């Protein structure tokens, strides 16, 4: 993600062409104060990882994959992503939703992933005591 809207995105000096394309409308400077931005999502994900896992490396386990849904477990967290344009069932291992990629303000039906939604959940009975992110 470019730092700013300059021709080199804040990574290169004047007259130097970056080797990767830069999206001038998707910069750190432009997303810094937008809660719905990709930058804000990444910051929330990093904060959650620190709150839930600290500096520990957690085991990784792929969970049952269904049509268009990928899920895995890492420590007390279950991550699920719906890669379809239709609602899908969350994996049975999922618990309390800690974070969602959805911009919708109303919660989904329990156990349902919205189209194109990703969630991070905490498995039941494995609370780390960090509900506020």
Say if residue 56's pLDDT is above 70: yes
For residue 38, being part of any structural domain is answered with no
The domain spanning residue 92 has which CATH number?
Answer: 2.60.40.1180
For residue 116, being part of any structural domain is answered with yes
For residue 39, being part of any structural domain is answered with no
Q: Is 32 exposed, middle or buried (0-12, 13-18, 19+ CB in 10 A)?
A: exposed
Structural domain span for residue 72: 56-122
Residue 88 dihedral angles phi and psi, to the nearest 5°: -140, 160
d(CA 115, CA 112): 9
Q: Total structural domains in the chain?
A: 1
Instruction: Residue 36: count other Cβ atoms within 10 Å of its Cβ.
Output: 8
Where is pLDDT greater, at 25 or 112? 112
Residue 23 dihedral angles phi and psi, to the nearest 5°: -95, 100
User: Residue 133: its pLDDT value, please?
Assistant: 36
For residue 23, being part of any structural domain is answered with no
For residue 6, being part of any structural domain is answered with no
d(CA 8, CA 20): 10
- Average pLDDT taken over every residue of the chain: 81
For residue 69, being part of any structural domain is answered with yes
């Amino acid at each position: 993600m470019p730092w700013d809207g300059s021709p080199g995105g804040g990574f290169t000096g004047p007259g130097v062409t970056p080797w990767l394309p830069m999206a001038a409308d998707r910069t750190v400077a432009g997303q810094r104060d937008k809660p719905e931005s990709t930058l804000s999502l990444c910051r929330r994900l990093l904060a959650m990882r620190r709150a839930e896992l600290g500096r520990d490396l957690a085991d990784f386990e792929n969970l049952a994959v269904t049509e268009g849904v990928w899920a895995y477990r890492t420590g007390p967290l279950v991550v699920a992503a719906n890669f379809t344009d239709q609602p899908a069932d969350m994996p049975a291992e999922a618990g309390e939703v800690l974070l969602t990629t959805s911009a919708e303000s109303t919660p989904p039906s329990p156990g349902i992933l919205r189209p194109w939604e990703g969630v991070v959940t905490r498995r039941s009975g494995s609370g780390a005591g960090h509900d506020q992110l």
